Structure 1
């Protein structure tokens, strides 16, 4: 009897959830599973040389070197550490269908793909006008500096750009291979029982590079005690955006600066 009651309560709660969807308006590009794979594009080396070409079906890596078929008719064997930037259009037959241009954030609603426009409380261009297909179709990899020693030695790695198209002030990156299993997922018993809650996927960590600067900053979703003391809301948020008064006026209340809304923050900051 108790089990039956819990089942009925769950079904009823699910109905309430579906009737009260919340909305999210901005989404980072989702992670990219494997690289290299067949496809075409342009590779720019740290030397400044750019090579237009493609990865062909078959062997794309040999002896830890990329096998890049240039439009110049040559086979270029490239070490990943020699690469500064890649703009790549994958052959979609070889892309994991779980991440194929899936840039929407799933929310509690009538369907997982139903992402509605969020009514932002200020005058800003909405993400609904953003051409996601144009900006998120190419996979853009860039060398990101993760550390600079006291002697000036740099440590870097190729990472995936995830805020393509609104990256003029800040560029946001995640590691290659990051997929939904590496995302956070907003969920609470209260939203399950009373509806209106979000179940949006979001990156739990990423690196940010400010325009004109070299060293990236690691931003992580706060947990436990740091969350209670507003680690992201009052520290990283202020460090990233605090110098822009117009932007800060958009989010004067600390509790509105939720980590899961970081795509929105970078979208708005890019326009302020």
Structure 2
């Protein structure tokens, strides 16, 4: 069975290695979001003197990458596409969007500016270069999700979580986590993409594979965002040999 992001592609590989393996002009969905952000930040280094003395973007932590204005723009594009899709826009209609779309530019530009007020001051050429890359990656990611998303095994799921209460830190996450900030660094990008894709009516549930998977070092535990019964975003909290003491585990197995 092929699960969305079951072979983790967001924040699991070396961004530098991915960029070296992919032609610069190609924005491939199989290049992770992390690697896309690295390429965009590298482009900004050429015009933003603040980055000259910082380490290379390929060496940035997940937190640094996903706090950048490039990440804010990418997440805004993701949110724009998924919210329009939830409101009835088809994938074919969304694929006709371009980097010159007025509404898209306003949403992405506002988010990037909120993350770094000096980002847009680097020049409109930079934003004009970044926005089509973010749009192309997001559309290809959306296409893959919609084509491959499968109904989850409900026996692997815990009770529905209240996304808003968790974001507002009014309720804890499962896995012994007090809030999203306690997630492992590798889940940072996946969590932010999940939040960007979320829309009213979506279900937000924890999942845990049965014990046999963990015994074979193939276990996974994390969070699913479900829409119309299909997984549209996954956050892997624990995998392989190490597992958390899952609060909902005893109710499932």
TM-score interval, normalised by the smaller of the two chains: under 0.3
Structure with a larger share of its residues in strand: 1
TM-score, normalising length: structure 1: 0.23
Structure with a larger share of its residues in helix: 2
TM-score, normalising length: structure 2: 0.24
